[in-house]
Structure 1
């Protein structure tokens, strides 16, 4: 028996490696030869790369009671979706974009209740006003409010990625179209986002799309090398026609660094995704170009363990963006105190005891 270390922190959800076999079908898209493909230089036509990520936070769970005695669940939450704008050739300084917090009053809409925006007045002239916009969720589950904030954050990420990315035609007649602006989006690409140059960067490997006969290649990849491009359908469960999935995706794997000998062989490997045209047997030239440059680009942006416990997959721009998003949402402790003071005033109680 050989024991290997998962390098990510033990408090990271699900760790870095919890592989479950993909239930659907995966097809060769680029080549039938399953072997490592060497990295290539980032081409001059790519002049702008944007790293997009989001963050969400629950700030208070609430229980609402109406005049008829009915009870329902709700919660105050916040989310941010932002971007880091950088030059892939290092010719200019990186900039932060769109890092503005949005606050949400998520509540169960099953009881027919309609809520007005909630404004939390500042405690002093320097703290500003907090405004929570109501958003209803279906059901009465305790996790409903958190799920609603998460959904709003993911939608904001997807919208931001689509707005910032260059157009990427996916039909066979536009094989020469090359994007000058590429978006690196944290996690898989979003449903409905086809036609834009968005590259999904999946840091944690949850699903095995390769099978036992192919996954061994990942452990032998050198930094910057990638696997051939594959194609699958999102949500494909195999078997019945009703479970064929919703959208087609291209996917491939890239190694960002050589792992130490004591870590498991997939440490430092990231899975990448792009939208695929429906029912096609070709890889658009632009997608192939992005796949070719992805290893070199991501190796340049990869973090190191002494700077980030989730290295190398948590890219340096992503970590910087996370810090900016934390600042945009503000101190969780101070926000909680503001919420308590607000509720005390609403209930007609002195604020000194709860502030």
Structure 2
């Protein structure tokens, strides 16, 4: 018996490796030869790389009383979506983009009365006002407010990625199809960003898309090497309606050597992009992005002494997370402001 270490911290929601077999079909897209693909340099044509991430936070759970009806659940929440703009060749400094907190009053759609924005003006004007915009969610489930904040955050990520990424030619004939601006999105790509140069960076390996006969290649990849590109259908589980399914390309990249005491897939990241419907080829632009992904991600990979989620939690993503935390402010101070506001509303001296 051998015991290996999962390198991610134990207080992380999920471990780095909890593989479950994918229920659908996974097809060879680039080549039927299952072997490592060597890393290649980042072309000069790629001038701009942006990493995008979002962060949701619930700040207070609420119970809304309206007339004589049954009280319903609601919540104050916040989310931040932002980007880091960097040069893949290191010719300029990285820059934070659009890191701004949006605050939400999420309430059940069974509330019949009009819900107005909630604005909390502080006693000290230097600390700024908190304004929560109302958003209704369906039903009256206790986790409805949290789900609504999460939905708004994901929608914000999708909109920002679609705005910033270059258009992606989806044919196999253009030899110079590489986009000038590439977006690296934390997590899987979102529905609605097809046709754009957006790559989803999946840090935790939860689903096995390879099977027992192929997964061994991941443990022998060298830093910067990747697997061939595969193709699968999102929602191909026999349960999801066909209209909700979407084609995806995916491949794996190794960012660093796994230390001897960690499991052999430590340091491996799965990448994915949208795939054209009903086609049996890989667009040249997708191959170009896959070819440069190993070199680019090895440059951006974090180090264990600086980030416990290294190397998959990329350096610009870690910097963006810190900026997002600052944008939302201290949860303790925000909660105190909420209590003071409700005390004044209820006529109680705070």
Q: Using the alignment, how far apart are the partners of 1:175 and 1:153 within structure 2?
A: 36
Count of residue pairs brought into register by the alignment? 350
Q: Using the alignment, how far apart are the partners of 1:225 and 1:171 within structure 2?
A: 25
1:344 corresponds in structure 2 to 343
Measure how far apart 1:110 and its partner are.
Answer: 2.7
1:75 corresponds in structure 2 to 75
Give 1:1-355 correspondences, 5 Å limit: 1-172=1-172, 174=174, 176-238=176-238, 242=241, 246-351=245-350
Contact 1:123 1:338 survives alignment (8 Å): no
Q: Helix, strand or coil: the match of 1:293?
A: helix
Measure how far apart 1:317 and its partner are.
Answer: 0.2
Contact 1:171 1:277 survives alignment (8 Å): no
Unmatched tracts of structure 1, length 5 or more: none
Contact 1:75 1:107 survives alignment (8 Å): yes
Unmatched tracts of structure 2, length 5 or more: none
Contact 2:64 2:73 survives alignment (8 Å): yes
Contact 1:183 1:197 survives alignment (8 Å): yes
Q: Using the alignment, how far apart are the partners of 1:241 and 1:191 within structure 2?
A: 15
Q: Helix, strand or coil: the match of 1:135?
A: strand
Contact 1:236 1:245 survives alignment (8 Å): no
TM-score (normalised: structure 2): 0.97
Measure how far apart 1:160 and its partner are.
Answer: 0.3
Contact 1:237 1:243 survives alignment (8 Å): no
Q: Helix, strand or coil: the match of 1:56?
A: strand
Measure how far apart 1:126 and its partner are.
Answer: 1.3
Shift in alpha-carbon separation, 1:83–1:295, aligned structure 2, 3 A: same
Measure how far apart 1:178 and its partner are.
Answer: 1.8
Measure how far apart 1:205 and its partner are.
Answer: 0.8
